[in-house]
Amino acid sequence: MSILNFFRRKSPAQALFDLRHVAVLASLTFRQHTNESNDELNANGGAELLYFLLHITDTVLDQQLRPTRRAEYFDFLTLDAIRNYADAMLNEKALNDMRASAKVMMLSRFNARQTTYARCTSLAGEALPTPGSKIFALAFLVQRTRQNRPSQVR
């Protein structure tokens, strides 16, 4: 199924909502399937999955849409997904400044991940994810977030 099927069957706004929902839900679900007890490390691992899913979506949109339309859709999707993920991770009592700071940090990390994934040579590599593939980079980044203190992850 092509990602453009999302856009053919419904309005672009609804399609973007559905894409955001799937990406954020997958990233939140990631937290339930780890043996890590530190919520902050799990949240950062889930954020890495979100960045990866957004990158893959961007790649497909770039291949199939005009640049201006792709930019419009993808900018909205990225900001909405990061906002929703950050809001889900932070306690509802968190200060607005803390929420804004977390979202800015996530956007900055996402931009860095875009650069990392763009340098990768393939999605998965050979039969197994190989160094230089996007899946290998994702696995490395998730593992790094779960081994380090979140403030040390860049």
29 part of a folded domain:
yes
Count the domains in the chain.
Answer: 1
The structure's pTM equals: 0.84
Confidence of residue 91 (pLDDT cuts 50, 70, 90): confident
Q: What is the pLDDT of residue 4?
A: 58
The answer to whether 117 and 53 are in contact (CB under 8 A) is no
128 part of a folded domain:
no
Burial class (CB in 10 A: 0-12, 13-18, 19+), 65: middle
Q: What is the pLDDT of residue 148?
A: 67
Confidence of residue 151 (pLDDT cuts 50, 70, 90): very low
Q: What is the pLDDT of residue 9?
A: 63
149 part of a folded domain:
no
**Token reading at 97:** 């400044």
Q: What is the pLDDT of residue 37?
A: 76
84 part of a folded domain:
yes
| Span 36-86, pLDDT tens digits | 777 788 888 899 999 999 999 999 999 988 999 999 999 999 999 999 999
Q: What is the pLDDT of residue 152?
A: 41
Give the structural domain span for 26: 5-119
By C-alpha distance, which of 154, 136, 137 is closest to 145? 154
137 part of a folded domain:
no
By C-alpha distance, which of 44, 18, 19 is closest to 31? 44
Give mean pLDDT, residues 24-43: 83
| Span 98-140, pLDDT tens digits | 889 999 999 999 999 999 999 998 887 777 778 888 989 998 9
71 part of a folded domain:
yes
Burial class (CB in 10 A: 0-12, 13-18, 19+), 24: buried
132 part of a folded domain:
no
End-to-end CA distance of the chain: 34
126 part of a folded domain:
no
